[in-house]
A and B are shown apart, each in its own frame.
Chain A
Amino acid sequence: MNLDSSIVYLSLLIFLPAVSAVAIALFAPKDSDDPVKQATLAVTVVTFLLSVGMLLGWPGIEFSAGEAAMQHLCSVEWIPSFNIHYLLGIDGISMPLVVLTTFITMLAMGASWNIQKHVKAYCVLFLLLETGMIGVFLALDFFLFYVLWEVMLLPMYFLIGVWGGPRREYAAIKFFLYTLFGSVLMLVALLILYFSSDVRALDAKTLANVGIADDRVEAITSADTPQHTFNILALQQLGQTTEQFKGDLAGKTYEWWAFVLLFIGFIIKVPSVPLHTWLPDAHVEAPTPISMILAGILLKMGGYGIIRICYPICPEAGYDLAFVVCTLGVVSMVYGAFAALAQTDFKRLVAYSSVSHMGYVVLGFGVWSTLNVDYWKLGMNGAMYQMIAHGISSAGMFFMVGVLYDRVHHRDLNQFGGVFSRMPVYSGLAVGIFFAGLGLPGLCGFIGEFFVVLSAWNYSMVLAIISAAVVILTAAYILWTLQRVYLGASYNGPHEEALTPITSREFRIAAPLLALAVFFGVYPRAILDYMEPSVSRTADDLAPLAASFGIDGASPTEKVADMPRGDRKLAISNTPSPALRP
């Protein structure tokens, strides 16, 4: 096996956990809980090292910073009769998310040491979950993407449903129903796009660029029948340069329907109001490590889907519905923050804070700007940065809640207090991580939020002002929580004697999270240098298209781009959007 080859390396990255899971399932003896945990942790560590290895420059497969294009594109035929390929690749958008995934998974495994029930099954499912997550970020074939998306769903369902809290079954089924609903919509969109695509419209050079093998290129260009494709990069090109997705379906274009279906599918994952109610229940019932993964990584897939699939494949629909997207983002921010303020369950509060924070992501993606694309780049990069930052801070917050829960077995905010005096080091770390969630400058949460908010004014002053106001609510619910849990003299709940200082295992999970929160807050270019070129290129590709939508008269946003800013927003807000009302 040659690690220099992209396909081997990327496949290893994806399937190492799954292969290890099978090995554990088959060969691990009974009653060997600790060795199984250690083996699982070792696998996650190796996977993490593999992902970081690309950054550090493993010969032949190093990930080069500052490169906008897809790197290490590699393709193998999988189901030729449907043009389904095993197509992988990595760019500045997926790279940070892959590293985040392997990193959080590793820490979450470290946080799984308290799991006592069915350890072997837990570890197997945990590793399968990791395969699914990494795979989703690396897959560039829509079918492969979809399969891995589903692969991720089942382990998650069982991890919540078996190892969760008292209402785990309800939470697990709710999670499953919601995400399945999203998957079905995604599947429909997938079929719409597949059957209306025809890659013959692309020239040979583009075909080569999107990862289609040379021998296939010839077959495609000489074919008589339409050549459908699941290749996401090819679909992007088709969506941006051809009219193939502009066919009429119930008064709207195919593209419009595909966008709406995909978008609903993705914002369920994000989650955006009003499709968010699975999240608080899933979090409250899930065991701590699963909450970390859920908040730290799974939510990011929604955002990833929007920037990788929704916008590039359906740019015109995205432009038409930008106002809806932005509004959903802002509504989530406000709604989540208000709802968090009312919670008395510690974990539920953190869950709602996730809803609020992920609203920034949706807003950042949505702030299309045609006159000055730099502001959209700012918003998109801010949104991507917010995803990484939230991955760190929310995973940290859930872990911190878990540390307390492990000790006192309750999460009622009104029955805490005085934890600072009893667990000083833990509390110091927790306060730091919560401040990262609060968006305090110098910590990672600030950068993304600040970028997104700064970019929003260019799109809509009203939305910008509302989004800026969320900083007040965020401060209110986080500080109030800190006061109720950590400050004060006396602890008001049961099991006071159990409030023992943080163990070194817990410290080794929390400290890296806080250290990264500080590092990314002080030096954002550590991420942006890798991420920004790819993200900005997406904006650069799409923004000029938006200007052209009006010209051929097909679009309801006719001449919008030529209007002054105020009128443009009005025009966008007036475009009908019935499908997004649930």
Chain B
Amino acid sequence: MNPAATLPAVLAIAWLLPLAAFAVVWIGYSLPQLAGRRPGATAQRFAGWLATSAIGSSFALSMFALVVWLAYHPLGGDEHGGHGAPPSYSGDYYLLAQFGELRLSIGYYIDALTVAMFAMVTLISTCVHVYSMGYMDEELHEVADHEVATSDGNYLHRPGRYHRFYQYLSLFSFSMLGIVLAGNLAMVFVFWELVGICSYFLIGFYYERPSASTAANKAFIVNRIGDFGMLIGLMALWTSLGTLQFGDTQLTARTSAGHVKMVVPIEQGIFSKLRSEDQHYHLDASAMVRSAETDESAHPGYWLLFVAGLGIFSGCVGKSAQFPLHTWLPDAMAGPTPVSALVHSATMVAAGVYLVGRCYPIFVPEALLVVAVVGAVTLALGASIAITAFDIKHVLAYSTISQLGYMMLALGLGGWVAGLFHLVTHAFFKSLLFLCSGSVIHAVHSNDLRHMGGLRHKMPWTAYTMLAGCLAIIGAGVPIWGIGFSGYFSKDAVIEQAWSFAGANPSPTYQLLLYVPIAGAFATACYMFRLWYMTFVGEPGHPHRFENAHESPPSMVGPLVVLAVFAIGVGWHTPFMSDLSVTSILEQARPAGTQATTSGTLLTELTLPDEHLSHEPEIADPASQSAFFAALLGVLLATMIYVWRWLHADEIRQSFAPIYKLLSNAWWFNELYQWTFVRPTLALSRLFASIDRWVIDPLVNGLARLFAYAAKLLDRVVDRGVVDSSFDALAHGTWDVGLALRRLQTGRLRQYMVFLVVGTLGLFAIASLCWKYALAG
């Protein structure tokens, strides 16, 4: 078996299967509606099975690809000495367009990260598909939407949309896998937008609710703001390097009839153009300028590369809901909960982090510093708001924002593996947490934490799998023994890197990048256990809802258990195969030249330490312990308030009223944006529209009137009868347009127009005749 041929084929099938499911459901379930038939419950359920088996097969194929990968690329082997290019396969599926040397194609770039992400995405997606069979059950029949009232005062009754849900979910899986598989940045952009539109559909699934459709619009438009930046990054790279391909691609000869193109056997990708082997994989910014002489700045191309990095990062800011574009994610919780688990926590929003990881070789240290700072701000912002939220999904949404901030921070500080490792572990525990919250919502029909309480007796499976998720997200573990939940390993890796960075950069401002994640660990523990206690411990907040609560069906509990197992264990080294772990797989994909300690060129003080240094005991031990104690304190605080009730939440709220107000209003970002961006844009749009109406049109109308007067003059001079009658005869004789003409008798303007045409043509004829004879004579 040749992995260079097998892997692209296998992953392509895994990628396209959900698309096939989407197409079948879309077309197959729409055409009968033409005849006025809506699909029945059985048919809809079949759509669910179809989509689930498609993504299930994708998962199987992804696992197969993972096995193949591991078989051909033994882990832990220092085959590229930690400094060479990681093993990867890149190539094209098909060519989109070629202009001279410029090529755009649909292709693949497969390395250990791709394979790992495929396995992770398809696994979680499969779990969510299965879970949704239970959760979306009510959509099989007519649904009464209690959030929408019709004009006659009743709740809205509408047909179920079970199959639509699976249709969108399939399209989403396809798009998400497309991002992961993409062989070039243009293709990333394509699927980047496609996951955006899937997210739009899924957030707006309950499109009768104004809140849902508004949230869907907001999500897409805010993402487009990020994409605008991403386009700038793409343009800068494309124009400077002439390619958007990640890896080097073997080209096949393409000759078109007429002119034979010069065939380039290998197209260099951006990675090898920017970090060539000759330069020992050091970032070479001068590759960004076509000839270094024209750029007389001290660092040719460096600014351009900085801009390119920032541009791509701004796309990631939008997608990963980082500050300042984070406001769409909490609103996105208007979608069904399984969607929140899959799209808005585990996979799509993590795509931003993935892309920073994928494009890591492009980022100059200064750009990475921006990534880190944005990550740190987001981390703090998200955690602070999560503490005060009462909607269970909002708590988790802000928690997601905060955790994504952790990943960005890690990547920005040089912790490539740490950031992506946290991506993987977070995907499992956060999807678990969301699915658990969905299970709770399914049981009590409310999102409000104050309506819950004591539910662990009613729904133990949900309660304890969710506890596992909570322990994973706060990074519970025993530092001395070195065991713990998955989050323990990944969060420690992040904080270790921050510690290492703080050690390498003594400047006090940089120390903040260490304090923020540690404080974040405290806040995370605090709000997660607040959530768990308020849901499952204490007195029922709403006795009626409590009475009717019940454990969810097996189709929902099953995925919870699977995800809980992964949330606990995904950070571990596999027993008996000590080399096999997520970190060692990721380590294998580390981009060439990004491991070594690097310093900034513009900010010469800035040093990004080698990630391996952070595992040294003198850094790892204190970092790990401080994270542990921060989390412990957070849990204790939550326990004191919500279990032991030594402190009262209401009193704390009152004594910190201004801060509480700030946090519970999410720092007033929505209002701020409304006043600074949305309203001015609308005002501007009205201004432009009125320029048309009040400036250009009057000008044109005035001109027209002028013409009319001129024509009237002409009319008096020229014998009206002759021309009129001849024209009328023409009109009558040829078409019965004359009929139409007579009905149009509102003035003679039309005829003057005809005069003008005929006149100019005649003028032309006379002029040319004169000219000709003048010349000839």
Contact = CB atoms under 8 A, between A and B. Distances in A.
Contact of A468 (B33, B151, B197, B235): B235
Contact of A442 (B158, B194, B749, B756): B194
Contacts of B98: 532
Contacts of A512: none
Nearest to A529: B256
A475 B236 CA distance: 23
Contacts of A501: 33-34, 36
A524 B566 CA distance: 42
Given A225-B775, A524-B97, A435 B235 contact: no
Interface in B721-747: 734-737, 739-740, 743-744, 746
B401 to A, nearest CB: 22
Interface stretch (A283-291, A309-317, A476-484): A476-484
Interface string A448-460: 0011011011100
B235 A456 contact: yes
B689 A180 contact: no
Contacts of A17: none
Contacts of A424: 30, 33
B489 to A, nearest CB: 37
Contacts of B156: 489
B512 interface: no
A64 B257 contact: yes
A201 B228 CA distance: 50
A468 B232 contact: yes
Contact of A525 (B97, B209, B746): B97
B217 A525 contact: no
A472 B228 contact: yes
B688 A342 contact: yes
A412 B529 CA distance: 51
Interface stretch (A1-9, A50-58, A107-115, A169-177): A169-177
A472 B258 contact: no
A507 B736 contact: no
Contact of B207 (A82, A150, A487, A536): A487
B767 A121 contact: no
Interface in A435-449: 435, 440-442, 446-447
B258 A67 contact: yes
Contacts of A378: 99, 102
B210 interface: yes
A342 B213 contact: no
A428 B228 contact: no
Interface residues of B, number: 95
B238 interface: yes
B736 A174 contact: no
Nearest to A21: B735
Contact of B234 (A118, A180, A454): A454
A247 interface: no
A277 B757 contact: no
B682 A82 contact: no
Interface stretch (A40-48, A203-211, A232-240, A369-377): A369-377
Nearest to B191: A441
Contact of A507 (B34, B208, B688): B34
Contact of A169 (B209, B744, B768): B744
B99 A177 contact: no
Contacts of B776: 225
B760 A565 contact: no
B227 A471 contact: yes
A368 to B, nearest CB: 14
A488 B98 CA distance: 43
Given A67-B258, A335-B688, A475-B224, A121 B735 contact: yes
Contacts of B737: 121, 124-125, 158
Interface in B205-252: 207-210, 213-214, 216-217, 220-221, 224-225, 227-228, 231-232, 234-236, 238-239, 242
A341 B685 contact: yes
A374 B221 contact: no
A525 B104 CA distance: 11
B97 A195 contact: no
Contacts of B200: 479
A176 B756 CA distance: 11
Nearest to B741: A158
Interface string B322-366: 000000000000000000000000000000000000000000000
Interface in A259-281: 274, 277-278, 280
Given A121-B739, A158-B737, A177 B220 contact: no
A381 B704 contact: no
B224 A471 contact: yes
B204 A25 contact: no
Interface string B254-289: 001111000000000000000000000000000000
B194 A487 contact: no
Contacts of B150: 489-490
Contacts of B216: 479, 483
A32 interface: no
Interface stretch (B66-74, B544-552, B651-659, B692-700): B692-700
A173 B235 contact: no
A286 B183 CA distance: 46
A66 B256 contact: yes
Contact of A487 (B213, B686, B692): B213
A498 interface: no
A187 B760 contact: yes
A404 interface: no
A277 B235 CA distance: 32
Interface in A495-542: 501-502, 504, 507, 523-525, 528, 532-533, 536
Contacts of A184: 756, 760
Given A425-B30, A428-B30, A338 B688 contact: yes
A178 interface: yes
B716 interface: no
A428 B220 CA distance: 18
A565 B294 contact: yes
B740 A121 contact: yes
A564 interface: yes
A479 B207 contact: no
B684 interface: yes
A222 interface: no
Given A424-B33, A525-B96, A533 B239 contact: no
Contact of B700 (A177, A442, A471): A177
B228 A468 contact: yes
A277 B98 CA distance: 37
Nearest to A453: B231
Contact of B744 (A124, A161, A480, A504): A161
Contacts of B34: 425, 501-502, 504, 507
Nearest to B218: A479
A421 B757 contact: no
Contacts of B137: none
Nearest to A425: B33
Contacts of B102: 374-375, 377-378
A69 B746 CA distance: 50
A158 B685 contact: no
B764 interface: yes
A226 interface: yes
A463 to B, nearest CB: 11
Given A425-B34, A525-B96, A173 B749 contact: yes
Given A118-B736, A428-B30, A472-B228, 18 more contacts: A81-B772, A169-B746, A177-B700, A177-B704, A183-B757, A194-B768, A335-B688, A339-B688, A371-B290, A424-B33, A454-B238, A469-B228, A475-B224, A479-B217, A483-B213, A483-B214, A523-B94, A528-B97
- 5 closest A-B pairs by beta carbon, nearest first, are A374-B100, A341-B685, A457-B235, A441-B190, A489-B208
26 contacts: A118-B740, A121-B735, A124-B735, A158-B737, A173-B753, A180-B753, A183-B760, A195-B768, A278-B700, A374-B242, A378-B99, A425-B30, A441-B191, A447-B97, A450-B189, A454-B238, A464-B232, A468-B228, A471-B228, A472-B228, A479-B216, A479-B220, A487-B207, A488-B213, A564-B294, A564-B295
